[in-house]
């Protein structure tokens, strides 16, 4: 199984750091490292801006730090963009859009159990980027099919490059917008949305997965053909545990869960400790165990991570760094407790 489990550690990629070396060192402190996204360092590093590179119709204003879309510009540029569809490198992340991606790929990562990359997913990208009428491009029947294929190509070239550094590389598609997908806000029907998501995932090479911090339709998401699902169980654990049958089917298919348990926001982090976080996790696992999910099997399909990204703490990166240290210590404690340590 390319994606390991056994309560090893990874994390989300968006980090509040302005010091590149410090951010990269922190990412490398985890069992499964990743290349950090640093929007405080440069607006190009914003996850939506990063995903927009070479997307036709994009209006990027670096001075005002805005990302918008022009229908007229899309029509003018789509032919040029389509001419590059057989060039994988065209869809990769350039040095301009990431200060650390290339450097990460130059490291010797062959001894890691796995490594990970990420890209903003089409649902969230399509919700966030709006046209001249303030209409999300996700609702545009001409733009949306192109966007799905474009983003799939971006995921695939990154995964291909990561696999050259470690054969167990995998990708997170960051999709905070999935929690709104089937709400009245969505702007297009449930069936179309389901079909689009299934089409998108079918175009992505394996291993493929989703990370989100919100509370979506878990039955739908767990039924998708994913290899890994990363979620904020610190905030949404009780709701998630209520979907035990879907969780069991996901695990039985070989899926891996990333349990985001350590808060990175200052106030909740200060209110927790190792014992309280361990108890919170074990309560969720006990609930799933009561509903027929074998605990040892669950551990073999589980990773641990901080609960969310966080850019808003008054202490900058300090609480985030403490959260990373806490997840490492919690992993060590639980792996020893349950006989999973090397």
243-298 pLDDT, tens digit per residue, is 999 999 999 999 999 999 999 999 999 999 999 999 999 999 999 999 999 999 99
The pLDDT assigned to 176 comes to 83
The pLDDT assigned to 180 comes to 73
124-143 pLDDT, tens digit per residue, is 999 899 999 999 999 898 99
- Which residue is associated with the tokens 């589980």? 302
Percent of the chain with pLDDT over 90: 84
Closest by CA to 209, choosing from 174, 234, 233, 166, is: 174
DSSP state of 95: T
Lowest mean pLDDT segment, chosen from 124-128, 145-149, 175-179, 235-239: 175-179
Instruction: Answer yes or no: are the C-beta atoms of 5 and 299 closer than 8 Å.
Output: yes
The pLDDT assigned to 205 comes to 95
Q: Is the pLDDT of residue 60 over 80?
A: yes
Dihedral (C-alpha) 139, 152, 192, 13: value to the nearest 10 degrees? -70
Residues in the chain: 342
The pLDDT assigned to 182 comes to 61
Average pLDDT, the chain: 93
SS (HEC) of 104-141: HHCCCCCCCCCCEEEEECHHHHHHHCECCCCCEHHHCC
Q: Is the pLDDT of residue 148 over 90?
A: yes
DSSP state of 205: P
Closest by CA to 33, choosing from 166, 228, 226, is: 166
The pLDDT assigned to 187 comes to 61
Lay out the sheet containing 116-120: strands in order across.
8-9, 302-306, 256-262, 228-232, 208-212, 170-174, 116-120
Q: Is the pLDDT of residue 194 over 90?
A: no
Topology of domain 8-337, CATH: TIM Barrel (3.20.20)
The pLDDT assigned to 171 comes to 96
Q: Is the pLDDT of residue 341 over 80?
A: no
The pLDDT assigned to 183 comes to 62
70-115 pLDDT, tens digit per residue, is 999 999 999 999 999 999 999 999 999 999 999 999 999 999 999 9
The whole-angstrom separation of Cα 148 and Cα 163 is: 23
Q: Is the pLDDT of residue 184 over 70?
A: no
Q: Quick check: helix, strand or coil at residue 66?
A: strand
pTM: 0.94
- Cβ-based neighbour number of residue 162 at 10 Å: 23
The pLDDT assigned to 261 comes to 97
- Residue ranges per structural domain of the chain: 8-337
Higher pLDDT, 342 or 31: 31
């Amino acid at each position: 199984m390319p994606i390991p489990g056994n309560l090893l550690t990874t994390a989300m990629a968006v980090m509040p750091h302005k010091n590149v070396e410090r951010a990269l060192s922190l990412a490398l402190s985890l069992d499964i490292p990743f290349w950090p996204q640093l929007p405080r360092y440069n607006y190009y590093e914003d996850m939506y801006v990063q995903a927009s590179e070479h997307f036709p119709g994009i209006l990027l204003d670096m001075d005002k730090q805005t990302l918008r879309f022009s229908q007229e510009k899309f029509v003018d540029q789509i032919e040029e963009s389509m001419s590059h569809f057989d060039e994988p490198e065209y869809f990769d992340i350039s040095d301009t859009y990431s200060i650390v991606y290339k450097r990460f790929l130059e490291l010797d990562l062959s001894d890691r159990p796995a490594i990970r990359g990420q890209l903003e997913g089409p649902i969230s990208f399509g919700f966030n980027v709006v046209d001249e009428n303030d209409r999300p491009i996700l609702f545009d029947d001409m733009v949306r099919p192109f966007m799905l294929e474009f983003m799939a190509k971006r995921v695939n070239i990154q995964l291909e490059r990561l696999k050259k550094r470690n054969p167990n590389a995998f990708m997170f598609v960051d999709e905070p917008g999935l929690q709104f997908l089937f709400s009245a806000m969505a702007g297009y029907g449930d069936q179309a949305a389901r079909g689009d998501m299934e089409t998108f995932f079918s175009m992505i090479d394996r291993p493929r997965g989703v990370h989100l911090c919100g509370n979506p339709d878990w039955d739908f998401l767990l039924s998708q053909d994913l290899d890994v699902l990363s979620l904020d169980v610190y905030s949404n654990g009780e709701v998630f545990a209520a979907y035990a049958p879907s969780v069991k089917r996901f695990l039985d298919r070989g899926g891996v869960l990333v349990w985001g348990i350590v808060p990175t926001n200052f106030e909740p982090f200060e209110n927790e400790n190792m014992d309280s976080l361990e108890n919170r996790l074990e309560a969720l696992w006990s609930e799933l165990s009561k509903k027929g999910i074998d605990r040892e099997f669950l551990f073999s399909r589980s990773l641990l991570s901080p609960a969310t990204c966080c850019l808003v703490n008054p202490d900058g990166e300090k609480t985030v760094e403490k959260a990373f240290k806490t997840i490492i210590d919690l992993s060590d404690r639980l792996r020893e407790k349950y006989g999973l340590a090397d």
